[in-house]
Amino acid sequence: MSTRTPCAVIVLAAGAGTRMKSATQKTLHAIGGRSLLSHSLHAAEGINPEHLVAVVGHQRDQVIPEVERVAEELDREVLQAVQEEQNGTGDAVAAGLRPIPEYEGTVIVTNADVPLLRAETIQALFDAHTTASAAVTVLSLDLNDPTGYGRIVRNDAGEVTEIVEQKDASEEQKEITEVNSGVFAFDGRVLNHALTQLNTDNAQGELYITDVLAIARREGHTVGAHLADDPRELAGVNNRVQLAAAGKEFNRRTVEAAMLGGATIIDPETTFIGVNVVIGQDVTIHPNTQLWGATHISDGAVIGPDTTLTDVTVGTRASVIRTQGERSTIGADATVGPFTYLRPHTVLGTGGKLGGFVESKNATIGAGSKVPHLTYIGDATVGEETNIGASSVFVNYDGVNKHHTTIGDHCRTGSDTMFVAPVTVGDGAYTGAGTVVTDDVPAGALAVKEGKQRVIEGWVEKKRPGTPAAEAAQRAREKEGK
């Protein structure tokens, strides 16, 4: 393991988030395929801290499992601290220090509702804090409209003296445009001591973490602010309008990364790429495409338009058009779509084809095999270079159990074949159009199951007289001179 940065990061996620108007705790809402909480823990892990602490409180029965899931994903310990009552940000940080008592390194505090914050920015704050030998460094923002934020108050010498909340600010202080992002670096010892000095003599009757600045300064420590380059990175998510805006901004990043990695994206505005998606070089993505989960698009593949793939692996040069797919694998040079539905555990071999109006599930289709038109293929294994006729159904369900169909290499099955599972079709076998295959077909055999066609001459004119069909039949007969 690479050397840890001598710091602890405390991520605050205890708040109620009432403005989301949701049964789901605020930080569990997702953008880019990842919860807000997970984004913040990933960013914190990005600086490789000695300790990572999540402060939970409100709806923690929901939040704790997500903390544990992310810890597993990050393959590191994430300590949990419970803030029983939400008595303010100062109280939340005090809770966050409980699992790391008397920690003397740098303590960084971030919020779980700022999903766009990058590890690089946390690192820059840490570096500025360390370089200045400061006791407290606040990550500040310069905003055109500072309403609602705590204002960074400086003296005539330009030194930071305190942070004043909107509700406690004088008219003059409200004019200040430099504000508190809610992200801080503290000297651990100074922080532990200052937290014992906080009080609730303020407009909200809460313990404010922001008061630590004035306390530290009063006690002779250096207090500073590090101005963030891009205030958009610290945009908080408090309601669904902000959630959508943050999602859009995050997507801009993932789409841009794909383009800079060598993918052509025809319309970045209508292309959505989740945070864990991997996209190769010379991939082309057409409009209205969404790629989620652990989707992997290999070099030279063409995806979309109108395609949504979740946890799908697409091989080199494959083409996937107007397709909905989930937990499936598409081989190199294979083609899928248009209007194809890949359900979980579809595996399409190299150069294979799943064509229009085909639905597949739990089906392995060998190299060069084609299921071109209007077919349901479920619980099946198809060999190589086989062609499944149009409008076939793999009848896999008897109403109680699912059964498997196995089809060999180089088969040619007729249109409208029903494979009533469990059934096996040997290599090189054929089936006739309309065959209901209920028994195994040996290699090289032709299976047909049809009665001789009956033709009843003159039936329409006799049984449906006066109809357009009867009139057409009569004209045809007259033309033939009958």
User: By rule CB under 5 A, what count of residues binds Ca ion?
Assistant: 1
- Two structure tokens written together for 131: 């370089």
Q: Does 80 bind ligand UD1 (CB under 6 A)?
A: no
Q: Which two tokens stand for residue 140?
A: 């500040």
Applying CB under 6 A, the span of 87-95, 213-221, 361-369, 384-392 interacting with ligand UD1 comes to: 87-95
Contact by Cβ (8 Å): 191, 92: no
| Lookup: tokens for 278 | 């991997």
Candidate residues 15, 46, 352, 414; the one interacting with ligand UD1 per rule CB under 6 A = 15
| Angle at 348 (CA atoms; ends 345, 354), nearest 5 degrees | 105
Question: Does the footprint of ligand UD1 cover residue 351 (CB under 6 A)?
Answer: no
CA distance 310 to 321: 15
Touching Ca ion, residues 198-237 (CB under 5 A): 236
Of the candidates 25, 59, 106, 180, which one interacts with ligand UD1 according to CB under 6 A? 180
Beta carbon of residue 248, minimum distance to Ca ion (angstroms, whole number): 20
Does 162 engage in binding with ligand UD1 (CB under 6 A)?
no
Tell me the C-alpha to C-alpha distance, in Å, between residue 234 and each of 108, 114, 126: 15, 6, 16
Token digits of residue 8? 């602890």
Across 188-235, where does the E strand assignment appear?
223-227
CB atoms within 10 A of CB 261: 12
User: Does 429 belong to an annotated binding site?
Assistant: no
> 223 to 262, contacts with ligand UD1 by CB under 6 A?
236
Residue 151 burial (CB count, 10 A): 25
- Is 408 labelled as part of a ligand binding site? no
The angle subtended at Cα 52 by Cα 51 and Cα 54, nearest 5°, is 140
Active-site annotation holds for 373:
yes
One of 163, 169, 318, 320 touching ligand UD1 (CB under 6 A): 163
Q: For 229, which DSSP code?
A: S
224: CB partners within 8 A, 6+ apart:
128, 129, 132, 134, 136, 137, 138, 159, 160
Give the residue with the Cβ less far from ligand UD1, 236 or 383.
Answer: 236
Residues 17-46, interacting with ligand UD1 (CB under 6 A) = none
Residue 464 among known ligand-binding residues: no
Q: How far is CA 359 from CA 164, 345, 364, in A?
A: 60, 12, 13
Sign of the Cα pseudo-torsion (302, 307, 310, 312, in order): negative
- Tell which positions 94-123 bind ligand UD1, by CB under 6 A: 111-113
- Residue 88 assigned ligand-binding role: yes
Catalytic one among 42, 373, 403, 404? 373
Of the listed pieces 59-67, 89-97, 184-192, 465-473, which binds ligand UD1 according to CB under 6 A? 89-97
Work out what residue 179 binds among ligand UD1, Ca ion, none; the CB cut-off runs from 5 to 8 Å by kind. Answer: ligand UD1
**Residues designated as active site:** 373
Q: List residues forming the annotated binding site for Mg(2+).
A: 113, 238
Binding-site ranges for ligand UD1 (CB under 6 A) = 12, 14-15, 55, 83, 86-89, 91-92, 111-113, 149-150, 163, 165, 179-182, 208-210, 236
Q: List residues forming the annotated binding site for UDP-N-acetyl-alpha-D-glucosamine.
A: 12-15, 26, 83, 88-89, 150, 165, 180, 238, 343, 361, 376, 387
